[in-house]
Structure 1
Amino acid sequence: MRQLRHVVCAGMVLAATSCITPTKSKQTTTTKPAPLPVAGTTPAAAPAAGSERGAGAAAARTAPKSFKAFFDAAKLRSQKGLIPTYWQDDKYYFEIPNTLLGKDLLTVTRFARMTAGASLYGGEMTNQNVLRFERGPENRVFIRTVLNVVSSPDSTKPIFQAVRNSNLDPIAAAFDVKAFNRDSSGVIIDVTEFFKGDNQIVSLNPRTKRQLGLSAIAADRSYVENISSHPNTTEVRSVKTFTVTPAAPSMVPVPGAPATLPAANAAGAVTIETNTSFIRLPENPISRRFFDPRVGYFADQISEFTDTSQRANSETYIVRWRLEPKAEDIERYKRGELVEPKKQIVYYVDPATPDKWKPYILQGINDWQKAFEKAGFKNAIVGKEWPKDSTMSLESAGYSAVRYLASDIPNAYGPNVHDPRTGEILESHIGWYHNVMKLLHNWYFVQAAAIDAGARKMKFNDSLMGDLIRFVSSHEVGHTLGLRHNMGSSSKTPVEKLRDKKWVEANGHTASIMDYARFNYVAQPEDNISRDGIYPRIGEYDLWAIQWGYRWSDKSEEADRAEGNKMIVDNLGKNPRLWFGGEGRNDDPRAQTEDLGDNSMKASEYGVKNLKRVMKNLPEWTREEGDRFENLNEIYGQVLGQFNRYTNHVIRNIGGVQETFKSIEQQGSVYEPTPKAVQKEAVSWLNRQVFTTPTWMLETSILNKIADLNGNDVATMQNSALNNVLSASRLVRMQESASRFGKGTYNAMDLLADVKAGIWQELRTGKAADLYRRNLQKNYVERLIALLPNTASTSAPAAAIAFAGITNTRNSDVSSIARGHLTELQAEIKAAAGRTSDKLTRYHLQDLSQRIAQALDPK
């Protein structure tokens, strides 16, 4: 018996993070008709925003006229398409046929041209909604914003009414019916003022307006540029002018404050050009593929209510493009033969992209063809240059594109627009910031200059930069195919394999291009590894993920779910490199950004060796005629930043909890502590590389050219590392881990003993402590004092502590351990102060002894 299923869409639950991807086949392109003329924009024709006329309703309604009576055939211009469109006497009209009523339409609003200084750019999306037209009373047409998507609406079942009563969609706009269409199978509405105004569903979203500090729309300076209708989309281009109050001048950026826009200061107004695309959601929705945390896909989530269920079910399904074999190829596909899909995935490259980089972006797109072959499809995806003299619109949601944005932001990102009912991806506009090349240069310089002579300069040759662009292109395209970051993928490569020339050049240094594993910083100069073993590439995991997500099936959703689970269990059992480690937001040291290999300490040891080589040559490799040491300063900062990454990779192992999602068919635990030996190895590395003063970072011939005496970046990095190691959350987690997993687990007392042995060596040796050690020792004492119950962070009410996101140690073992440790340390400090012959070290120790005494007994 078929169950009635009411589905309420809860929106995307796994959001994209940025980052910060052929064979010719037939492609049908619809020729875009010439847009309708620009409507007049005189003040007399433009009512104030929010007026009844602006919402499409006249104060005194008149009965709808016939088509012939309303329009003058001599003046009328029209376009057929998704929404038939008419233009007469500077006004735009939509024809809403009865067949369109109640149908889901997706609207995507993008900036076509943007004001300067907004950090938002032409081509970027600002709004997205699902809308429905419906007939209202008194000869009106309503637009509802669809917040809740209901599937299989059998109104005869009792639960239908319950779902309906609790999920009423808002009426976002209302229009008078001006006339009937030619055969009276639909109605005509005037949409001129609707698109000229600031109607939220087809304008900027509220967050963007707050970000820019925009106020009311200036109706006399806003107008419809054109409307064009096509078989699958209707496009509305509008120019909107907003009044704006210039932001108050500030020497320091204020979080949440509106952007400072030159137009606001010069004119008190901001003009923005937008493009809104109307797309009809598929009449034949794609079958959902249910989400599984063992394969990394973005997803949407729904709650399902059925007459036969005993509870509301939460279902999560992945987002993916529709790939289906042609009817005549289905049997060939089922036999395992490669077939071409009914519809190819096409990405166009923005014509504004510099010509020399276009081939590399296209290669990054086409590199995914081999992945889709694993799912049974050949020529499934292709990158193309934007056709010359094309009438197509880059802003249209009818095309996917890589948009080149003139921005100094060093980044790129890959979003997608999808059907909220099923997760079917409909289009994507990848954002490609011009300054991503600076990011690529600095990454490659500090991570590869020790082993690649081509990286030892401030401007790379085009072939090297092109290769780096290609890898970023592939990564961002991967996101638009539905793939999330797989930060755990690199942990499945043994560290020593990263130095094995034959192996790493054949397999790559990580199993996924969706990892943040930039370049092979482990390889040493004597390994003679080529760029094939340095660059990221589409790897084993990526091929597997595309196979799992894009395999075509004509089975039921439940049967498909069972098949997908079996694929995961079988394939992960055979090949651990297919593991999805998540986004790196948990406490699992195997899933980290920017790291390499299966052992952070070994990989970072090799990384530091290469950084020392880079540091030694920085003055020479950054040298450019006329440079005032800006290059040296920039790359020194990059070296320090890379060293800090290695440090954080190591710290993540301390108190680490490995999370490996499994189904009931798989053996072993989902959660396990990082082995004690690995945690001790991490502390040993920190004591040796970080808490022992890293003198190689303190080359005075460099610092004297780039750094004044008002800050100490190395000391700041050391103290940040120590604060991280001794954080309350880590110590509490380690005690919880010891309680659950037993005495063999590395606990907070073990950690303090090992860190103390490194940071406080001078207590045993009697040697003088240098500036960096004195700073660290003071910070060590202050961190432990902060864990005592009488400090501000632990004496506040528990509710206030939780609200502030502070780990409450008041009633945990951690405060007791901190007190006991400080008591023992004070005795050792007093004894050492009497033995040292260095006056400043003695003052330092006496100061610390007094601080501890006051903390232990504030009275």
Structure 2
Amino acid sequence: GVERNNIAPVMEAFPIIAMTPDSTASVIDVTSFFLSDRIPFTPLVPNSGIGSLFGLRDNMEGQFDKDRSSILSVQAFPLNAIVKTMVTYTVSKRPFSAEMTISMIRLSDKPMMPRLRPDRIGIFFSSKNHFSAEKDYLDKSWYAERWNIAPKPEDEEKYWNGELVEPAKPIVYYVDPAFPEKWRPYIKAGIEDWQKAFEAIGFKNAIVAKDYPDDPDFNPEDIRNSCVIYAATDIANAMGPSWTDPRSGEILQGSVYFYHNVISLVHNWRFVQTAAADPAARKETYDIETMGPMIRYVVAHEIGHTLGLMHNMRASYAFPVDSLRSKTFTDKYGTTPSIMDYARNNYVAQPGDGVTNFLPPLLGPYDYFAIKCNYKPIKGAKTPEDEVPVIESWIDEKADDPMYRYGSQTFFGAYDPASQSESLGDDAIKAGQYGINNLKILTDSLLVWTSYPGSDYDRTLELYEEILSQFRRYIYHVKTYIGGYYDNYARVEDGSDSFELVSGTKQREALDFIFEQTMELPDWYINTEILAKGRPVNEYATEMQMKIMRALMSKGTVLTLKAHEKFPQEDPYTARDYMDDLYEKVWGPVSSGRKLDHSEKMLQYAYLQALFSGIGIQDMTDGRGFALTPDEDLEDELPCARLELRYAGQERALRTASWVPDTALETEAMLYNELVRIQNLLEKRLKVEKNQEMADHYRYLAYEIRKAVKID
């Protein structure tokens, strides 16, 4: 049936130019095939709305110029070929040329037996539709992406008897000779850190690191070769893509691209997150004893991707916050149970705690378990379906242990407080308070720690802004409690729900924390000694306060709270409760009659900005309106994001925060009535206000409301 309804696509037909006498080989002209504007061979990527947000090079349009394009070289091997071309386009009336390497390989005649991806473990996947008369719906399977790791035929008996054996096809990573020599041991260590995870399932030397071979035919762009490649660019990132057999999910090749300026990224992370408690993090240039382990971490994380593992944003939630202040605990576990988490350095540890290991683990318990679920052979299994009960039983055994829980990466607004980028511990409020304590120390000491002889203050000012960015992370981690819910991978067998709403008590605590920290920000962040080294006018703190207020007042936050009212809750927090609490914090001082400070006035201004945007009015905004999530909320998703974007929207492994449409009208009505309430408050206050400065402020806000909307 399926075969009769579908035919294999034909990319190109070629006339035969010549044949060998025995007709076993023929000659065709492939020049026009490779020198073309077709999708596989063009550097111009079609527009992707999501991709552009993450810095992907897309939305380039141009006219292909075949006369200025050429085939540079061709390498042919028994099962694969490599064609290098230079293609030229006219883009925006200017010439644009790029070298392209096209690597093709013949797939095996018999595909590897797929493994069905368990949805409670973060594993990349290929999807397949199954057409069957046995079910009344189109069935879909998710094939785990995995290398073909299996014992050699002669070693199978040893393997099943519990002996360590080498796999028939070990994974080999070649390390680019362009890497600085002092980095190379750490890069190789980051690759081979995964050996222990494979040893735990019975394989030794399953993944090894090697130098480029002394072979003229060796080509790092050959799809048969997996490499860690050095790129001397200013991109502050690294990534680990892989190529798979679409029939089975078998990974054929993986590559890690290590962009040089990722060093700057990890340096700044280390400074703002640990310098308060770790003197080694205060240096202008880290010695290899400090930088080396961070390079190792970056490589190991990216290698994890090439082994098929997705990010696990829930991992760090397994650790109690106060455990991260324990030297004994952090020496053993680091910051998270998984290196696939975005849990960088220990920002919770305080000066005097005695913590000396501020990094994630080499590999955590979850990483070992994920490798087991993706790679451990299952005796007697003849089909992918045969493996499912065994793998599910492994996961069930660990279901109550938080160190083995998986949480997906979300874009455009986190909704699960337990699964967040760059977060640590099981309580974002407590962790954020510790982190802010350390940021205050950094701000006080920044000039001392960054006054390097013979240099200007550019580095000081750069790190000063990084401190504010780190503060934003702590605040946004806490904001996720408001309208948030915990994601559960529900099973029919246990009768659980797919989500659990955050309690009203926790949401109120989160709002109190955010507002208190936001109001206190200028008291410790505005450092005139530092500002004197930059520009005379500096509104960093005020701008951050306004961004936070707009985030609190965003339509998405209110709408989500409104949607949650449909569900029974023991400790509810309604949209009306939230609006009343926020109103009292922002507008309560108006009734008191006291003079407002600069921050209080700007928060009122930002409050109105968000209200106008929420009901579709652009007055007082920057022209963009206000979206579900601030642009800054995407910054922490950038490293490695290209990989996970391939899977966005396909299933629950990657979600974006969503709105319930039938609550939109109610939400807009509520926001409109907030404008009415504020307008009435301002008019009442203006009748008795004696302070000219405050009267001017209130009169202007009232004017903006009248200008934006007619209120009867």
TM-score (norm 1): 0.73
Q: CA deviation at 1:707?
A: 3.0
CA distance in 1, matches of 2:264, 2:17: 56
Hey, which of these two has a bigger chunk of strand by percent? 1
Instruction: Indicate the SS of the match to 1:767.
Output: coil
CA distance in 1, matches of 2:430, 2:293: 28
1:179 corresponds to: 18
Aligned CA distance change for structure 1 residues 375 and 194 (closer, same or farther; 3 Å): farther
Q: Could you report, residue by residue, the CA deviation over 1:92-115 in whole angstroms, capped at 9, with x for unpaired residues?
A: xxxxxxxxxxxxxxxxxxxxxxxx
CA distance in 2, matches of 1:359, 1:452: 24
Q: CA deviation at 1:505?
A: 1.4
1:190 corresponds to: 28
Q: Is the 8 A contact 1:489 1:580 kept in 2?
A: yes
Q: Does residue 1:818 correspond to 2:682, yes or no?
A: no
2:41 corresponds to: 203
Q: Could you report, residue by residue, the CA deviation over 1:818-845 in whole angstroms, capped at 9, with x for unpaired residues?
A: 3444444445445555666643123212
Please show how residues 140-179 of structure 1 align to structure 2 within 5 Å. 158-161=1-4, 163-164=5-6, 168-179=7-18
Q: CA deviation at 1:637?
A: 1.1
CA distance in 2, matches of 1:725, 1:210: 32
CA distance in 2, matches of 1:835, 1:459: 60
CA distance in 1, matches of 2:398, 2:161: 20
Instruction: Indicate the SS of the match to 1:447.
Output: helix
CA distance in 2, matches of 1:210, 1:690: 37
1:480 corresponds to: 306
2:75 corresponds to: 228
2:52 corresponds to: none
Q: CA deviation at 1:691?
A: 3.4
Q: Is the 8 A contact 1:629 1:705 kept in 2?
A: yes
Q: Does residue 1:680 correspond to 2:515, yes or no?
A: no
Q: Could you report, residue by residue, the CA deviation over 1:227-247 in whole angstroms, capped at 9, with x for unpaired residues?
A: 333334222333x24253565
What amino acid is aligned across from residue 600 of structure 1 in structure 2? Answer: A
Q: Is the 8 A contact 1:291 1:318 kept in 2?
A: yes
Aligned CA distance change for structure 1 residues 523 and 395 (closer, same or farther; 3 Å): same
1:150 corresponds to: none
Aligned CA distance change for structure 1 residues 781 and 307 (closer, same or farther; 3 Å): closer
Q: Does residue 1:728 correspond to 2:555, yes or no?
A: yes
What amino acid is aligned across from residue 652 of structure 1 in structure 2? Answer: T
Instruction: Indicate the SS of the match to 2:233.
Output: coil
Aligned CA distance change for structure 1 residues 810 and 593 (closer, same or farther; 3 Å): closer
1:495 corresponds to: 321
CA distance in 2, matches of 1:823, 1:196: 65
Q: Could you report, residue by residue, the CA deviation over 1:569-602 in whole angstroms, capped at 9, with x for unpaired residues?
A: 12223x2210001113451111111111111110
What amino acid is aligned across from residue 556 of structure 2 in structure 1? Answer: S
1:707 corresponds to: 535
Aligned CA distance change for structure 1 residues 856 and 393 (closer, same or farther; 3 Å): closer
Aligned CA distance change for structure 1 residues 169 and 648 (closer, same or farther; 3 Å): same
Q: CA deviation at 1:753?
A: 2.4
Q: Could you report, residue by residue, the CA deviation over 1:661-680 in whole angstroms, capped at 9, with x for unpaired residues?
A: 12222353211111111111
Aligned CA distance change for structure 1 residues 307 and 782 (closer, same or farther; 3 Å): closer
CA distance in 2, matches of 1:357, 1:671: 44
CA distance in 2, matches of 1:422, 1:565: 20
Q: CA deviation at 1:308?
A: 4.0
Q: Does residue 1:462 correspond to 2:288, yes or no?
A: yes
Q: Does residue 1:549 correspond to 2:387, yes or no?
A: no
Aligned counterpart in structure 1 of residue 140 of structure 2, from 298, 310, 314: 314
Q: CA deviation at 1:645?
A: 0.8
Aligned counterpart in structure 1 of residue 63 of structure 2, from 215, 238, 244: 215
What amino acid is aligned across from residue 76 of structure 2 in structure 1? Answer: S
Aligned CA distance change for structure 1 residues 241 and 292 (closer, same or farther; 3 Å): closer
Aligned counterpart in structure 2 of residue 237 of structure 1, from 69, 79, 84: 84
Q: CA deviation at 1:353?
A: 1.4
1:95 corresponds to: none
Aligned counterpart in structure 1 of residue 573 of structure 2, from 746, 749, 755: 746
Q: Does residue 1:283 correspond to 2:118, yes or no?
A: no
Please show how residues 32-43 of structure 1 align to structure 2 within 5 Å. none
Q: CA deviation at 1:402?
A: 0.7
Instruction: Indicate the SS of the match to 2:352.
Output: helix
CA distance in 2, matches of 1:200, 1:178: 23
CA distance in 1, matches of 2:577, 2:39: 58
Q: Could you report, residue by residue, the CA deviation over 1:704-735 in whole angstroms, capped at 9, with x for unpaired residues?
A: 322343x6222221111111111112212112
What amino acid is aligned across from residue 557 of structure 1 in structure 2? Answer: P
2:692 corresponds to: 839
Q: Is the 8 A contact 1:198 1:217 kept in 2?
A: no
Instruction: Indicate the SS of the match to 2:410.
Output: coil
1:587 corresponds to: 415
What amino acid is aligned across from residue 244 of structure 1 in structure 2? Answer: T
What amino acid is aligned across from residue 571 of structure 1 in structure 2? Answer: K
Instruction: Indicate the SS of the match to 1:760.
Output: helix
Q: CA deviation at 1:451?
A: 1.1
Aligned counterpart in structure 1 of residue 491 of structure 2, from 645, 663, 670: 663
TM-score (norm 2): 0.87
Q: CA deviation at 1:459?
A: 1.3
Aligned counterpart in structure 2 of residue 539 of structure 1, from 364, 384, 388: 364
Q: CA deviation at 1:307?
A: 4.7
Q: Does residue 1:755 correspond to 2:593, yes or no?
A: no
CA distance in 1, matches of 2:247, 2:110: 11
CA distance in 2, matches of 1:634, 1:376: 48
Hey, which of these two has a bigger chunk of helix by percent? 2
1:637 corresponds to: 465
Q: Is the 8 A contact 1:517 1:536 kept in 2?
A: no
CA distance in 2, matches of 1:697, 1:296: 39
Q: Could you report, residue by residue, the CA deviation over 1:436-489 in whole angstroms, capped at 9, with x for unpaired residues?
A: 101011111101111111111221112211111110000000011111111111
2:474 corresponds to: 646
Q: Could you report, residue by residue, the CA deviation over 1:786-827 in whole angstroms, capped at 9, with x for unpaired residues?
A: 44588899xxxxxxx9xxx99879863323433444444445
Q: CA deviation at 1:348?
A: 0.7
Q: Does residue 1:346 correspond to 2:169, yes or no?
A: no
CA distance in 1, matches of 2:600, 2:58: 47
What amino acid is aligned across from residue 421 of structure 2 in structure 1? Answer: T
Please show how residues 283-432 of structure 1 align to structure 2 within 5 Å. 283-388=109-214, 390-432=216-258
Instruction: Indicate the SS of the match to 1:171.
Output: coil
Instruction: Indicate the SS of the match to 2:224.
Output: coil
Provide structure 2 residue ranges, at least 5 long, that are not aligned to the other structure: 47-56, 621-627, 629-657
What amino acid is aligned across from residue 566 of structure 1 in structure 2? Answer: S
Aligned CA distance change for structure 1 residues 809 and 816 (closer, same or farther; 3 Å): farther
Q: Is the 8 A contact 1:447 1:521 kept in 2?
A: yes
Please show how residues 96-115 of structure 1 align to structure 2 within 5 Å. none
CA distance in 1, matches of 2:677, 2:133: 66
Aligned CA distance change for structure 1 residues 850 and 472 (closer, same or farther; 3 Å): same
Instruction: Indicate the SS of the match to 2:143.
Output: strand
Aligned CA distance change for structure 1 residues 364 and 766 (closer, same or farther; 3 Å): same
What amino acid is aligned across from residue 524 of structure 2 in structure 1? Answer: W
1:529 corresponds to: 355
What amino acid is aligned across from residue 230 of structure 1 in structure 2? Answer: F
Q: Is the 8 A contact 1:789 1:810 kept in 2?
A: no
Q: CA deviation at 1:857?
A: 4.0
Aligned CA distance change for structure 1 residues 768 and 536 (closer, same or farther; 3 Å): farther
2:632 corresponds to: none
Q: Does residue 1:718 correspond to 2:556, yes or no?
A: no
Q: Is the 8 A contact 1:519 1:536 kept in 2?
A: no
CA distance in 2, matches of 1:357, 1:396: 24
Instruction: Indicate the SS of the match to 1:705.
Output: coil
